[in-house]
Amino acid sequence: MMVFSETLQKFKSGLAKTRDSLFGKVTQLVRSKSVIDEEMLERLEEILISADVGVGTTMVILDNIKNRVKQERYESSEQLSVLLKDEIGRLLQANGGAPANGIRLPDSVRPYVVMVVGVNGVGKTTTIGKLAHNFRSAGLKVVVGAADTFRAAANEQLEIWAQRAGVEMIQQSRGADPAAVAFDSLSSAIAKQADVVIIDTAGRLHTKINLMDELKKIKRVLDKRMPGAPHEVLLVLDATTGQNTLQQVRQFTTAVEVTGLVLTKLDGTAKGGVVLAISNELKIPVRFIGVGEQIDDLQPFDRRAFVNALFESSPTESP
Amino acid sequence: MFENLSQKLETVFKRLRGQGRITEANVAETLREVRRVLLDADVNYKVAKQFIDDVQKRAVGSEVLNSITPGQLIIKIIYDEVVKLLGTSKAEIHTAPAPPTVILVAGLQGSGKTTFAAKLARYLKGKGSMPLMVAADIRRPAAIDQLEMLGKQLEVPVYADRAKDALAIAVDSIDFARRNIRDTVIIDTAGRLHIDEEMMQEVAAIKKRSRPHEILFVVDAMTGQDAVNTAKAFHDRLDFDGVVLTKLDGDSRGGAALSIRSVVQKPIKFIGVGEKLDALEPFYPERIASRILGMGDIVTLVEKAQEQFDEEKAVKLEEKLRKAQFTLEDFLDQLREVKKMGPLSQVMGMLPGMNRVPADVQVDDKALVRIEAMIQSMTSEERVRPSIINGSRRRRIAMGSGTTVQEVNRLLKQFEEMQRMMKRLSKGSMKRALQGMRLPAR
């Protein structure tokens, strides 16, 4: 079943920053010249790199555009944005997966176990609050497990979100073994016949071996309690982070086999280009994007809607 | 820290060092590589461009072409430019002529403001101040609880009032500090997006009313290209005095430091290097620049050692590092001492040569146990002269320590590498080398 209803308007407005700064510039660029030339491509390079697309991915996009300009004899600058839209759409397509993402709960698996991981300060707990709210609104019984036992007041923070979402939270005292909390949460969810369990974990830098080992242990313990769990490992990424994002995706995937990504803080940043870098270099689907601070500001990531939203001219621009 | 940038620049430099003469063409090619390294490290596009232009201008001049060792000169130019970008001196915190000194901490969500506030309180307390932490983040759920818990842990009082707004909390906390004889007030504000007008006005109002002596802008070191915009927006509103770079204990960043520094012209004053409350260090531009260029960071290491064990031992450690006389035996001793200084991965990054250990070979504290076992499985002669350790000795050491021959090989290689780096540094005056007056040649 598909839990998240798509509110396209919100999706679009959340991406307004990315669209205005990144693609607004492309529009300007296109208007400034009449033919596609080296200088224009160099400016395009600047626009892409400045949006955190990354050097490697930018080169792939530019090379493809150059080849097509040559082979298909494009000349007029207005065709540049068409070409760019094509290339970006293709990059995201190569990423595979269904056109609309989000989480689909198979009917046969109860409880469905979601483990949430990420580095410090990316918005894991907030994302869990929003996820729980979404599941709850869809009429599902949700349990959240407070397995961030390291950070001061992490429990309190999650508790407030749990209350807002109207779901139950399982916790132990600060400093407790996070794997034990995860185990307890899952046991409790099974006993209560919950539909979904979301396990929060402490933020950790992907370079800390001992902390990554701790994460592996949490995952092992979940699998022990319920073979096959966790069914989804969500890695939360901060959209304002630069190329280190790729490193985070790689390291967390090596440790706990990440199955989906959540990109937060997309409303505040002028970027979002990192989505392209992820698609180009790694094959993990983006499940959700966070576009605001409200509890319903977590949106399923829709590749087509994303590309369209980026290229649609904003209200302030003349058509 | 910065390992990847160092590594990548080193491959570029290696190629340069091989060149007898530098031509315009290979300068351009190399600088393209350097540019890519900088962009991959999240240095802002425009900043990187400026950087390359500056270097190119200096490198293609007759000065370089006519010099005997053009490779070294280019490296020196690049190093100089990095130092220039990072700023040239270490900065201190402004204090009030009459206490209390008010310090305002601001930044984006998730940059690590609350953790930094606590680290700063600990740091100042260690220097004899009596800080008060102020919980002016009333937005994030449980932010006040977090600061209160940290305060309890540090035995530093926290001013919080759940009935007031952020502005009132900030203003009232200063009176509270006066009445309770606290000489420093650290105000932790809510994280805010630089485009959130309402929140930016709030923090500007807090500044206006609390009249801070020092405003610190906290920023995640992993931030991408947007770092310059964020820094600029906060700077326009707050005219902050300094920058705090957090999460520098991760990998492959450093770009944000270069970009922010060049865009707002305000010094980076502190760096956060871990989750523990003592993982805060002052920022020394030369050291970070040396690290970027793969020269190690002996000065920080020695200072850290001083904090942990007595002066005399620290001097000895520096001596040994400087003279590069040490054997595997000493290496083992040092590793044990170093263990006291904190997580090994952090300390190792400061040793010259250690940042060239391939990125996939991570140093964890368990590895130390294995290294210990390996060295203990060597004879005393082997420890002094590792060159005699041949294949069969390697097998014996591996068997004796419960490791593999590959691990023994790796240890010996690392040790050799380290010795070589130190020899290089000790040839000239180490201090001068660190300041970049004389750069090592291969």
Per DSSP, the residues of B335-382 read HHHHHHTS-HHHHHTTSTTGGGS-TTS---HHHHHHHHHHHHTS-HHH
Contact B143 A153 (CB under 8 A): yes
Asked if the bond preceding A178 is cis, omega within 30° of 0, the reply is no
Q: What is the CA radius of gyration of chain B?
A: 24
Assess whether A69 and A141 both reside in one domain: no
Q: Residue window 208-237, chain B: list those with CB within 8 Å of chain A.
A: 220, 222-227, 229-230
Assess whether A94 and A116 both reside in one domain: no
* B345 has pLDDT over 60: no
| Most A-contacting residue of B220, B365, B370 (CB-CB within 10 A), to test interface | B220
Please indicate if any CB of chain A lies within 8 Å of the CB of B188.
no
Rounded Cα–Cα distance for residues B45 and A49 (Å): 7
Paired tokens of A176 = 């407790």
Which segments of chain B belong to CATH 1.10.260.30?
A: 302-437
Residues 6+ apart with CB under 8 A from B363: B344, B345, B348, B354, B357
Residue B294 has what pLDDT?
A: 46
A56 to chain B, closest Cα gap in Å: 9
Residue with the bigger pLDDT between B38 and A93: it is B38
Is A24 domain-assigned?
Answer: yes
Instruction: Report yes or no: A114 and A105 within 8 Å, Cβ to Cβ.
Output: no
pLDDT more than 70, % of chain B? 67
Assess whether A142 and A207 both reside in one domain: yes
Query: With bands split at pLDDT 50, 70 and 90, how would you rate the model's confidence at B140?
Result: confident
Assess whether A188 and A294 both reside in one domain: yes
Residue B102 has what pLDDT?
A: 96
Residues 6+ apart with CB under 8 A from B72: B17, B439, B441
Residue B311 has what pLDDT?
A: 52
Nearest CB neighbour to A241, from listed B40, B224, B345: B224
* B360 has pLDDT over 50: no
Question: Which of A76, A98, A120 is the endpoint of a domain?
Answer: A98
* B181 has pLDDT over 50: yes
In this predicted complex, what is the ipTM? 0.82
Place of tokens 């350790």: B389
Contact B41 A243 (CB under 8 A): yes
Top CATH class, B101-295: alpha beta
* Range with the poorest average pLDDT among A80-94, B220-234, B391-405: A80-94
Mean pLDDT, residues B263-272 taken together: 89
Please indicate if any CB of chain A lies within 8 Å of the CB of B194.
yes
CATH of the domain at A192: 3.40.50.300
Assess whether A230 and A291 both reside in one domain: yes
Contact A242 B225 (CB under 8 A): yes
Question: Which of A48, A67, A98 is the endpoint of a domain?
Answer: A98
Top CATH class, B3-86: mainly alpha
CATH of the domain at A26: 1.20.120.140
Is A319 domain-assigned?
Answer: no
Assess whether A192 and A73 both reside in one domain: no
Domain residues for A25? 4-98
Nearest CB neighbour to B223, from listed A46, A150, A240: A240
Rounded Cα–Cα distance for residues B193 and B42 (Å): 20
Which segments of chain B belong to CATH 3.40.50.300?
A: 101-295
- What is the overall mean pLDDT for chain A? 83
Mean pLDDT, residues B150-154 taken together: 95
Contact A209 B362 (CB under 8 A): yes
Q: Which residues on B lie below 8 Å from A51 (Cβ)?
A: 225
Assess whether A68 and A179 both reside in one domain: no
Is A317 domain-assigned?
Answer: no
Residue with the bigger pLDDT between A295 and A164: it is A164
Assess whether A216 and A176 both reside in one domain: yes
Paired tokens of B292 = 């970027």
Q: What is the pLDDT of residues B364-416, one digit of tens each?
A: 566 778 888 888 899 888 888 888 888 899 999 999 988 899 989 988 888 88
**Within 13 Å, how many C-alpha atoms sit on residue A134's CB side?**
26
* B132 has pLDDT over 80: yes
Assess whether A219 and A271 both reside in one domain: yes
* A79 has pLDDT over 90: no
pLDDT more than 90, % of chain A? 37
Closest B-chain CA to A152? B146
Please indicate if any CB of chain A lies within 8 Å of the CB of B369.
no
B63 to chain A, closest Cα gap in Å: 31
Question: Which of A67, A98, A129 is the endpoint of a domain?
Answer: A98
Q: Which residues of A touch B (CB under 8 A)?
A: 17, 46, 49-52, 54-55, 119-123, 150-154, 156-157, 159-161, 174, 205-210, 238, 240-245, 247, 265, 267-271, 274
Helix (H, G, I), strand (E, B) or coil at B113: helix
Is A248 domain-assigned?
Answer: yes
Which segments of chain B belong to CATH 1.20.120.140?
A: 3-86
Name the amino acid, one letter, at B292. I
Assess whether A29 and A168 both reside in one domain: no
Contact A152 B364 (CB under 8 A): no
Q: Which residues on A lie below 8 Å from B195 (Cβ)?
A: 17, 268
Residue B253 has what pLDDT?
A: 56
Residue A4 has what pLDDT?
A: 46
Assess whether A155 and A195 both reside in one domain: yes
- What is the overall mean pLDDT for chain B? 77
Number of domains in chain A: 2
Assess whether A60 and A177 both reside in one domain: no
Q: Which fold has domain B302-437?
A: 434 Repressor (Amino-terminal Domain) (1.10.260)
Highest mean pLDDT among A8-22, B66-80, B399-413: B399-413
| Most A-contacting residue of B46, B195, B226, B355 (CB-CB within 10 A), to test interface | B226
A153 to chain B, closest Cα gap in Å: 5
Instruction: Report yes or no: B344 and B414 within 8 Å, Cβ to Cβ.
Output: no
DSSP single-letter state for residue A313: P
Indicate whether this model's pTM tops 0.80: no
